[in-house]
Amino acid sequence: MSKATFKVTLTKSLIGRQASHKACAHGLGLRKIRQTVEIIDTPANRGMANKIYYMVNIEG
């Protein structure tokens, strides 16, 4: 049984952002602008993506 996933793409720079927002981006595996990662859909991962909603595009 495959687990549900969603894609997150970093669209804005991490420079000058709050430390907790940078930590969320790094926790999701985002390092560079326009980098896309596919993440397992868990409440913790959704929460990190929603916290930095203004810097990312979320698909799925």
Average pLDDT of the segment spanning 33-51: 97
Q: Would you state the pLDDT for residue 55?
A: 97
| pLDDT tens digits, one per residue of 7-18 | 999 999 999 999
- Computed on alpha carbons and rounded to an integer, the radius of gyration of the chain in Å comes to 11
- Residue 1 pLDDT > 70, yes or no? no
H or E element, residue 41:
none
Percent of the chain with pLDDT over 90: 93
Any idea what the CATH number is for the domain that residue 53 is in? 3.30.1390.20
Average pLDDT of the segment spanning 35-56: 97
Q: Would you state the pLDDT for residue 60?
A: 86
Query: What's the domain count of the chain?
Result: 1
State how far the Cα of 29 lies from the Cα of 1, in Å rounded to an integer: 24
Domain housing 33: 5-59
